[in-house]
Amino acid sequence: MKNQSQIQNVLEEWAEKTVKAYHQIAIRDDVNLAYYTQSDLSLLSGEPELMIIGINPGNPFGKPPYTEQCNNKNWSYLYNNRYDRNHLLKGNYCKEEGKPSSWDNHKKWIYWAGLKTCLSQTTLKEILDDDSKIIVTNASFFSTNKANGISESLLKETIPYTLDLINRTKPKHLIFLSGQKCFERLCRLSKSSKLFQFEYKHICGYIYIGLLNNKFCIGIPHPTYKTNEELNLVASVIPLLLNDTNYEKIDIESICKECAKQIKEYEERIHNKKKQIKILDFKNLIEKVISECNIDAYEEKNHRYKLNEIYGITIAEKGYIAIRHINYDYKGYENTQDEEVLKLKDVLKGREFNISSKGSEKAWIGTKMFSQFGNNDTQIIEGICKEIKELREEIQKI
């Protein structure tokens, strides 16, 4: 086991080598993408208890260019020093004057709360609060709006540096987010490139186990905007996977039997997403939402309320909520597909809304069925209130 001084020496060597390689890739005209890791590696005190790996850093505002990142003084360890190893050691350190850095705010991230739920039945839940014992990183450090923005060729060029980080730090547990998509890509790349060995198999839901260069790993759905049923299923399965890390002998049938209740609840929720449910006491729903969310109506008759001064939410008695511009009903107005609306669509898509197609500007921007919140009035009211509160916060960031 390495102590703090030893692990920091290892990390500094890794960062020095990696930042130079990434810089040479990033300055290419066909790439020109900002890049960074996530957790503050300078705080690591020894071999990590847990390493969490996503496909790549997401960015709701598209593909931020590397040239823009280099000229942005908020990236203080990079500004005027593109080969600075601190660019990687300090993780997601972008910091506006007078505000905490991005990583300093990570415990307020929606996905972090979901991750804690996923690990709630294990000792890893407490470890998540200790930056000296975890690494949060990505298979590729290049930032794009969606994971598929990282091409196979770019992933092939960059993943060796993440593999090197795993080899050098020797994490006790390895968890991949976006498990199915991530494992599918790793499997394809391992077969085509021969850079590493990888195989995986399905447990239940969107939960997988894998073998990365003979190291046991777990793949779970990315916890952002997942339903309680899906998070609860992951929370129930993970302890069983951590107790038995023998990839070849792990008893999938026994795990599924032990978690049968959670699997059933998850499958029913998936089924309900497609099912239309009418609330029994619609008047009560409206009263509770107005009171709980403190929202103002802009068209009371049709139960339309302001999320902000631009966008509104309609609560339809037929059994769904819907988002569009407040000005939509004005003569000659439609949901113009400008950059902001496209960003809003990405937010709504991440929250499991049904998104209008590109040619449907005169329809809703996005809709969500009551059945996606639950099977009874109480669950639906609580779900809609939570949705409105979180949507307001997300829209403010656009």
- CA distances (Å), origin 361, targets 184, 340, 357: 34, 14, 8
**pLDDT per residue as tens digits for the range 263-316:** 998 888 776 666 667 777 899 999 999 999 999 999 988 999 999 999 999 999
Q: Classify burial at 144, counting beta carbons within 10 Å of its beta carbon; exposed 0-12, middle 13-18, buried 19 or more.
A: buried
What are the domain boundaries of the chain? 4-271, 282-397
The Cα 161–Cα 37 span in angstroms is 11
Residue 202 is inside which H or E element, if any? strand 198-204
Q: Classify burial at 129, counting beta carbons within 10 Å of its beta carbon; exposed 0-12, middle 13-18, buried 19 or more.
A: exposed
**pLDDT per residue as tens digits for the range 326-364:** 887 665 566 666 778 888 888 888 888 887 654 344 578
Provide the pLDDT confidence category of residue 31 given band limits of 50, 70 and 90. very high
- Whether the pLDDT of residue 152 is over 60: the answer is yes
The Cα 85–Cα 82 span in angstroms is 9
User: Which residue's entry shows tokens 């197609």?
Assistant: 357
C-beta separation of 395 from 295 below 8 A = no
DSSP codes, 295-340: --EEEGGGTEEESSSSEEEEEETTTEEEEEEGGGGSTT------HH
Structure tokens at 155: 């992933």
Residue 228 is inside which H or E element, if any? helix 228-243
**pLDDT per residue as tens digits for the range 52-89:** 999 999 876 667 899 999 998 899 888 888 888 998 99
C-beta separation of 179 from 200 below 8 A = no
Can you give the pLDDT at residue 275?
Answer: 64
Q: How many CB atoms lie within 10 A of CB 170?
A: 15
3-class DSSP state for residue 54? strand
More confident residue, 108 or 9: 9
Over residues 142-149, the mean pLDDT reads 87
Indicate the average pLDDT of the chain: 89
C-beta separation of 213 from 222 below 8 A = no
Can you give the pLDDT at residue 267?
Answer: 86
- Whether the pLDDT of residue 165 is over 50: the answer is yes
Q: Which amino acid is at 279?
A: I
**pLDDT per residue as tens digits for the range 112-132:** 988 999 999 999 999 999 999
Can you give the pLDDT at residue 321?
Answer: 94
Can you give the pLDDT at residue 76?
Answer: 86
pTM comes to 0.75
The Cα 357–Cα 100 span in angstroms is 38
The Cα 193–Cα 62 span in angstroms is 28
Can you give the pLDDT at residue 205?
Answer: 93
